[in-house]
Amino acid sequence: DIQMTQSPSTLSASVGDRVTITCRASQSISSWLAWYQQKPGKAPKLLIYKASSLESGVPSRFSGSGSGTEFTLTISSLQPDDFATYYCQQYSSYLTFGGGTKVEIK
């Protein structure tokens, strides 16, 4: 099984900050990676697919990069609505999710 490791597990930031979340795969997954945002009590929401493709309707302050085993999700200017937990997910071999990164208010 492909394991996905996210860092940090928790991130404290302020509105307007640039935020970067890292996701590492236990083996190469090419660009077969997606990112999701989840708020408490809600279903995840797709942000990015194929490592860097922005899902329709998602604000352009969200961006994804990387390939192989190392990936990043960047929020260029953190907004109040962005405080949530973020998950990466590989789909190179079945599906596995990272452990999540909680973005909280500093």
Partner 1 sequence: QVQLVQSGAEVKKPGASVKVSCEASGYNFTTYGISWVRQAPGQRLEWMGWISADNGNTNYAQNLQGRVSMTTGTSTSTAYMELRSLRSDDTAVYYCARDGRYSSGWLDYWGQGTLVSVSS
| Contact residues: partner 1, CB under 8 A | 1, 32, 34, 36, 38, 43-46, 49-50, 55, 87, 89, 91, 94-100
Cβ atoms of 86 and 20 closer than 8 Å: no
Q: How far apart are CA 72 and CA 76, in angstroms?
A: 12
Q: Supply the minimum distance, in Å, between the C-beta of residue 82 and partner 1.
A: 19
Q: How far apart are CA 82 and CA 43, in angstroms?
A: 15
If the CB atoms of residues 75 and 88 are measured against partner 1, the closer one turns out to be: 88
Q: Supply the minimum distance, in Å, between the C-beta of residue 17 and partner 1.
A: 25
In the chain, the amino acid numbered 13 is A
